[in-house]
């Protein structure tokens, strides 16, 4: 599986404006994607010519793990993973070595250059993150599993936990515990539970405020399974909704539906954003929707592609992206609805399936 990914990378390296002899991969998620290795200190050298094998480097703590996760790759054991791989590249006659300047510091590049003074280090941009945007079958299965865990954890918590009167922090902790019980390695990110005024803050951090009658409650959470993330938001109301709450909710729900309907291979990322945003703007709430519509989800919770008003590029089949419009009214509350979807040729399919209506907590 990872060998096929390295083959796709080689094709991309050959198509670079300034072709390179090899790519030095230092971002740990990129290393994991291309090698299967998930330790915390690693680098990978991928020669552009497929007659030449890729080499994985990690330190002594991870030799056993590397053997299990990347049995097909030769291993270099060192703490200075990137520098030693660049030295090896020089020794193999690989004179031009590409790197992703969006993930490497100036100091790291200087250290690499000292390690291999005659090597030309070529910034090639986020080539591997671009590759990672389109998921293979193994990845789609992992994202779907992470979505299923989140759906099931929310259903179980709604059925069995007391929400009204519980604090934001308690609601978050119970959801995270349930995800772990259902097989998640971890929460995908710090669970957001925002009640009342907290619902008006898109990235609200849970507090000891208790959920009380009249609150809108925004819950944004996800699970991580096999390294892959899910991302979902549902909005609740404590007790019967006020007219303004139902109105805002209906606008966001219609926007989210429009965004999901627009999502398919070939459509510009900015157009997916616009499909949802137009609904919010038409309702006179455009200035209350202050973030992009969504983002790619995979080995990272936020990854390519970006789905916002200024986004470039277009959707491709097998991308997993979120659609998450929101409307936030400072001090009063807010509504966001978010799903993780997989893009296909004529349409898209939501991998998170919890109902999207305004669930009344009692």
Nearest-angstrom CA–CA distance, 154 and 157? 5
Contacts (Cβ under 8 Å, ≥6 apart) of 174:
157, 161, 166
Residue closer to Zn ion, measured from CB, 151 or 231? 231
Secondary structure element (H or E) that encloses residue 47, with its range? strand 42-47
Is residue 231 part of the contact set for Zn ion (CB under 5 A)? yes
Site for Zn ion in 67-86 (CB under 5 A): none
Stretch of residues binding Zn ion (CB under 5 A), selected from 5-13, 40-48, 320-328, 339-347: 320-328
Choosing from 30, 220, 273, 339, the residue that interacts with Zn ion (CB under 5 A) is 220
Is residue 235 part of the contact set for Zn ion (CB under 5 A)? no
Site for Zn ion in 14-53 (CB under 5 A): none
Of 110, 64, 109, 116, nearest to 85 (Cα)?
116
Stretch of residues binding Zn ion (CB under 5 A), selected from 98-106, 149-157, 208-216, 332-340: 332-340
Residue closer to Zn ion, measured from CB, 215 or 220? 220
Number of residues that bind Zn ion (CB under 5 A): 4
Is residue 322 part of the contact set for Zn ion (CB under 5 A)? yes
Q: How far is the CB of 220 from Zn ion (least distance, A)?
A: 4
Q: How far is the CB of 223 from Zn ion (least distance, A)?
A: 12
Of 226, 214, 194, 205, nearest to 336 (Cα)?
194
Q: How far is the CB of 207 from Zn ion (least distance, A)?
A: 18
Stretch of residues binding Zn ion (CB under 5 A), selected from 98-106, 274-282, 333-341, 349-357: 333-341
Q: How far is the CB of 143 from Zn ion (least distance, A)?
A: 13
Q: How far is the CB of 278 from Zn ion (least distance, A)?
A: 20
> CB count, 10 Å around CB of 182?
17
Residue closer to Zn ion, measured from CB, 151 or 220? 220
Of 177, 191, 285, 172, nearest to 232 (Cα)?
191
Residue closer to Zn ion, measured from CB, 21 or 231? 231
Residue closer to Zn ion, measured from CB, 92 or 291? 291
The beta-strand segments (E) located in 86-215 are 96-99, 120-123, 186-187, 192-195
Q: How far is the CB of 295 from Zn ion (least distance, A)?
A: 6
Q: How far is the CB of 218 from Zn ion (least distance, A)?
A: 10
Q: How far is the CB of 340 from Zn ion (least distance, A)?
A: 8
291 Rama sector, left if φ>0, alpha if ψ -120 to 50, beta otherwise = beta
Q: How far apart are the first and last CA of the chain?
A: 48
Secondary structure element (H or E) that encloses residue 22, with its range? strand 22-25
Q: How far is the CB of 351 from Zn ion (least distance, A)?
A: 13
Is residue 320 part of the contact set for Zn ion (CB under 5 A)? no
Residue closer to Zn ion, measured from CB, 10 or 336? 336
Dihedral of CA 279/282/287/288: which sign?
negative
143 Rama sector, left if φ>0, alpha if ψ -120 to 50, beta otherwise = alpha
Residue closer to Zn ion, measured from CB, 2 or 256? 256
Of 83, 97, 91, nearest to 41 (Cα)?
83
Residue closer to Zn ion, measured from CB, 235 or 322? 322
Nearest-angstrom CA–CA distance, 100 and 24? 8
3-class secondary-structure state, position 189: coil
Residue closer to Zn ion, measured from CB, 47 or 294? 294
Q: Are 342 and 351 in contact (CB under 8 A)?
A: yes
Is residue 151 part of the contact set for Zn ion (CB under 5 A)? no
Using CB under 5 A as the criterion, which residues of the chain lie in contact with Zn ion when the complex forms?
220, 231, 322, 338
């Amino acid at each position: 599986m990872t060998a096929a990914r390295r083959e796709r990378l080689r094709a991309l390296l050959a198509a670079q404006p300034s072709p390179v002899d090899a790519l030095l991969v230092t971002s740990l998620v990129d290393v994991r994607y291309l090698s299967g290795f998930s330790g915390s200190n690693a680098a990978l050298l991928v020669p552009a010519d497929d007659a030449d094998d890729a080499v994985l480097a990690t330190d002594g703590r991870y030799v056993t793990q590397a053997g299990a996760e990347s049995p097909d790759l030769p291993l270099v054991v060192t703490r200075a993973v990137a520098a030693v791989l660049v030295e090896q590249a020089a020794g193999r006659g690989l004179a031009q070595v590409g790197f992703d300047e969006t993930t490497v510091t100036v100091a790291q590049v200087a250290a690499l250059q000292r390690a291999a003074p005659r090597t030309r280090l070529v910034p090639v941009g986020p080539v591997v993150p671009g590759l990672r945007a389109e998921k293979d079958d193994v990845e789609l299965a992992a994202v779907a599993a992470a979505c299923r865990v989140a759906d099931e954890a929310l259903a179980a918590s709604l059925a069995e936990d007391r929400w009204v009167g519980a604090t934001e922090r308690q609601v978050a902790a119970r959801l995270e515990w349930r995800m772990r019980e259902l097989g998640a390695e971890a929460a995908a990110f710090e669970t957001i539970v925002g009640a009342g005024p907290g619902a008006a803050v898109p990235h609200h951090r849970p507090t000891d405020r208790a959920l009380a009658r009249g609150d809108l409650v925004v819950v944004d959470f996800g699970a991580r399974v096999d390294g892959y993330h899910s991302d979902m938001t549902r909005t609740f109301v404590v007790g019967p909704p006020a007219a303004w709450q139902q109105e805002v909710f209906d606008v966001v729900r219609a926007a989210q539906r429009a965004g999901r309907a627009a999502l398919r291979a070939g459509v510009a990322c900015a157009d997916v954003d616009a499909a949802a945003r137009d609904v919010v703007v038409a309702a006179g709430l455009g200035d209350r929707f202050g973030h992009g519509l969504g983002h790619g989800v995979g080995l990272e919770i936020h990854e390519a592609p970006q789905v916002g008003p200024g986004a470039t590029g277009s959707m491709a089949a097998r991308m997993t992206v979120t659609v998450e419009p929101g409307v936030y009214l400072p001090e009063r509350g807010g509504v966001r609805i978010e799903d993780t979807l997989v893009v296909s040729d004529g349409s898209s399919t939501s991998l998170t399936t919890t109902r999207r209506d305004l669930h009344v907590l009692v």
